[in-house]
Amino acid sequence: MIDFYIFDKKEQQMKQLLAFMCVFSLLYSCKQETKQAQIPIDSKTTITEAPTIAEKIAKAHGIDHWKDINRITFTFQVDRDDKKGDGRAWTWFPKKDSIIMKAGEQQVTYNRQRLDSVPSNADKAFINDKYWLLVPFQLVWDEGTTISEPSKANAPISKTEMNKITLTYGTEGGYTPGDAYDIFFDNDYLIREWIFRKGNSPEPSMITTFENYKDFNGILIAKEHKNAEGNFNLYFSDLSIE
CATH code for the part of the protein at 14-241: 2.50.20
- Judged by average pLDDT, the poorest of 108-122, 186-200, 209-223 is 108-122
94, containing H or E segment: none
Residue 86: what pLDDT?
86
Q: Is the pLDDT of residue 210 over 60?
A: yes
Q: How does strand 98-103 pair with strand 106-111?
A: antiparallel
Q: Is the pLDDT of residue 33 over 50?
A: no
Instruction: Kindly indicate the confidence band of residue 2, based on its pLDDT and cuts at 50, 70 and 90.
Output: low
Q: What interhelical angle do 14-23 and 120-133 show, nearest 10?
A: 60
Instruction: Kindly indicate the confidence band of residue 25, based on its pLDDT and cuts at 50, 70 and 90.
Output: very low
Model pTM greater than 0.75? yes
CB 228 within 8 A of CB 99: no
Determine the average pLDDT of the residues in 44-69.
86
Give, as one character, the DSSP assignment of residue 5. Answer: -
Instruction: For residue 196, give every residue at least 6 positions away whose Cβ sits within 8 Å of its Cβ, in sequence order, or none.
Output: 2, 28, 179, 180, 181, 204, 205, 206, 207
- Alpha-carbon dihedral 44, 45, 46, 52, rounded to 10 degrees: 70
Q: What does the alpha-carbon distance between residue 233 and residue 209 come to, in Å, rounded to a whole number?
A: 9
Q: How does strand 88-93 pair with strand 98-103?
A: antiparallel
In terms of Cβ atoms closer than 10 Å to its own Cβ (0-12, 13-18, 19+), residue 226 is buried
What residues does each domain of the chain span? 14-241
Q: What does the alpha-carbon distance between residue 220 and residue 223 come to, in Å, rounded to a whole number?
A: 9
Q: Helices marked H in 51-202 — which ranges? A: 53-60, 120-133, 135-141
Residue 24: what pLDDT?
35
Angle subtended at Cα 33 by Cα 217 and Cα 42, rounded to the nearest 5 degrees: 45
Q: Is the pLDDT of residue 191 over 90?
A: yes
